[in-house]
Each structure stands twice: as structure tokens, then as C-alpha cells.
Amino acid sequence: MEDALRLESVSKTFGDQVKVAALDQVSLGLPYGTFTAVMGPSGSGKSTLLNCASGLERPDFGRVLIGGQELDTSDETAATRFRRGRIGFVFQAFNLLPTLTVWQNVLLPARIAGTSLSREDKNRARLLLDRVGLGDRLNHRPAELSGGQQQRVAIARAIVNRPALLFADEPTGALDSVRAAEVLMLIGESVREFGQTVVMVTHDPVAAAYADRVLFLADGRIVDEMRAPQAAGVAARMAAFRPTEAAA
């Protein structure tokens, strides 16, 4: 079976006068049902990797394949249609819509994808919100929730229509360790329950230890990887980056 996500020599450069190679010929393959953490110093290209892999940003060179199909970002409408239902994205800043309730926020992807919401969409949204302990907050607005609760709403929203791929850019960055653990367990469950493939950027070795595999980025390249990571081993590997780099 083809990989859930493949990158083939993906490169991305920013800047006019001074060129910065944010990604330098990155290749990787992620099988279905795997949970990968991406770590590396600040500015090493982690967010650019997620943005290129998910089609939010267009690589200068190289190809991105999702379920064996090339993600073509030259036609924005086609790319959006292709991503819809296949890809979920969670950001550090939650990005919930402030004027919508919890319930409306979670149903947003289903509403965007189709003309009307199926009973199945609603049941699943309800189930997800119950499971993250927000079943009694359906009519609250984001501002009435804690950061951890907002991030759990954001994850419920990102997985409600079961996208094959979930990208998360420092999803626990704004959370305390208890809330972070809740969010990570929720992500881990959707990997096990429906074989979702997850790519998560994190600075936290404890968070990375929830993944099956950790990729280490430096200067836009994958410089190392670790399977079945333990927090202590990940922390030691991060400390081995040059001091300036490690000050992420």
C-alpha cells in the first residue's frame, strides 16, 4: 500500500536578497496509522514542512503525495477541494471562530464540505465533544473556555470528518502539562481508532514521546530520527544541537 504521506525532495526558499532555505530537499514517507513528531531548533523549518505537506504553502521544488495522489497547489480551488476531508490542521493558537459556539465550531468542516449535515456528522461531533469532556459546553463561545478546552474543541473540529491526515503545529505549546496530556491522548486515540496519520510539531520531549517516530530537523533538513521515542532520549538528542540552535 502506498504511504499516507510522501514528500519527494521538497524544497522551499524564502527571501529576495538573502535566501533562506527553509526546506532543503526533504524526502520522507509516512505509512497510514502512524504518529510522527517533528522536532528541531527554532527556524529549522518545522512549520514550513507542515505547511508544504498540507498544501497551505507551495514548495519551490519537489512533490507532495497524499494517499499516492499528488497535491497540486497550482490550482487553488482544486487543491482546496482535494484537501477537504483528507486533511485536518491544528494550530498552537487554536483558531476557533470567536462568534460561533463550541457546537458550531466543531461542525464547521462538515458544514463546509456538504450542503447539509448528516445525522452521522452530528452524532460523531457529539461523541467527540463528550469524549473530550466538553459535552456540557456545546453552547459556550471560545472566550468562555480555558486554553486546554479550546484546543480540545480545535482537535475535535480537525478530526470530526475523519481526515486521513492530521497536521498539528505545536498543539500543546500553550497548554499546561495536564491539558497537554489530554490533547495528546485524544490525538493518539484517533491514530489507533481509525488509522489516522498524524504529523505533530513540538518542542516538548514529553509530547514527542507519544509519537511512534521523531524526525529531527536542522537548517531545513532531516538530520536524525528516532523510533519508539522516550522523553529522556529525545531531550538528550535536542540538547546535542548547537547551543544557538537549541535555544528554541
Per CB under 6 A, which of residues 24..43 are in contact with ligand ADP? 40, 42-43
Strand pairing report for 165-169 and 87-91 = parallel
Residue 48 binds Mg ion (CB under 5 A): no
Q: Which range touches Mg ion (CB under 5 A), out of 3-11, 40-48, 100-108, 139-147?
A: 40-48
CB of 171 to Mg ion, least distance (A): 12
Per CB under 6 A, which of residues 88..147 are in contact with ligand ADP? none
Residue 47 binds Mg ion (CB under 5 A): yes
Per CB under 6 A, which of residues 42..71 are in contact with ligand ADP? 42-48
CB of 61 to ligand ADP, least distance (A): 15
Close Cβ partners of 222 (under 8 Å, ≥ 6 residues apart): 26, 28, 215, 216
Binding residues with ligand ADP: total (CB under 6 A): 12
- CB-based burial, 183-208: b 16+ in 10 Å, e otherwise: bbebbbebbeeeebbbbbbbbbbbbb
CB of 93 to ligand ADP, least distance (A): 14
Residue 200 binds ligand ADP (CB under 6 A): no
Which of 2, 9, 20, 27 touches ligand ADP (CB under 6 A)?
20
Q: Which residues bind ligand ADP (CB under 6 A)?
A: 14-15, 20, 22, 40, 42-48
